[in-house]
Amino acid sequence: MGCIQRARMQGATVHLGGERYGTQGYWVQPTIITNTRSEMDIVKEEMFGPVAIVIKFVDEEEVMKLANDTLYGLTASFFTKDLKRGVQVANRLQAGTVWVNCMNMFHPGVPYGGFKQSGIGRECGQYALDTCVVSSMPFIHCAASTWRNANPWLLPATPTSNPSTSTRANVLVQLPEGACLIADLYFIQKNALMYSVACLMYVVCSL
């Protein structure tokens, strides 16, 4: 209710609703607010409630500027008859999920998350595994001739049919002078799909 009241004070028009619904709980009437400007709090803040903000625009460039001029970017949606133009607009919107000619469609294999201050990381899909991985990247200086003469080969991974267990594959690169580069790749198998979830690389040198 405070956001709606501030919108009135800043010059916006409550076209519909804008009042409390009932006498118990925290319910608000479905509300439509018009005559808004981009600098108003009601436009910039992320509201979780039955409140629609109407902003006028002249052309596509202006609407893109208005849509991306925010600290948040969880989702966006719009409707169009021109699908080619729809793809172009979707690629320019700074939002984690963009719905074209639809709303609130989800799939467990598709990552979900926001841009900017709308969350950290992704849920669902392969990108969700990144939140469970800690990577270590050692840098080791070697002469150019060392890498030119390297002899790589892949050691086969141990298969597993248990989704709760991991599979490990070794990539061994033999270097001159008794040194070798080893990369340990760890996989987890789920629903007949193999996901890479960790990679550890290290160098073993003979003294």
pLDDT in tens, 115-141: 999 988 889 888 888 777 776 666 555
pLDDT in tens, 60-109: 999 999 999 999 999 999 999 999 999 999 999 999 999 999 999 999 88
Q: At which of 75, 91, 124 does a domain end?
A: 124
Q: Which residue in 35, 29, 41 sits closest to 5, CA to CA?
A: 41
* Residues 114 and 58 grouped into a single domain: yes
pLDDT in tens, 12-30: 999 999 999 999 988 999 9
CATH of the domain at 73: 3.40.309.10
Number of domains forming the structure of the chain: 2
| DSSP string of 132-195, one letter each residue | G-----------HHHHHT-EEEEEPPPP---TTSEEEEEEEEE-STT-EEEEEEEEEEETTEEE
Domain that holds residue 79: 2-124
pLDDT in tens, 138-190: 655 555 454 444 444 444 444 444 444 444 444 445 555 555 555 554 444 44
Q: How far apart are CA 61 and CA 18, in angstroms?
A: 31
Question: pLDDT band at residue 7, thresholds of 50, 70 and 90?
Answer: very high
Q: How far apart are CA 23 and CA 27, in angstroms?
A: 9
- pLDDT of 177: 53
Residues 10/41, Cβ–Cβ less than 8 Å = yes
Angle at 105 between CA 113 and CA 190, to 5 degrees: 65
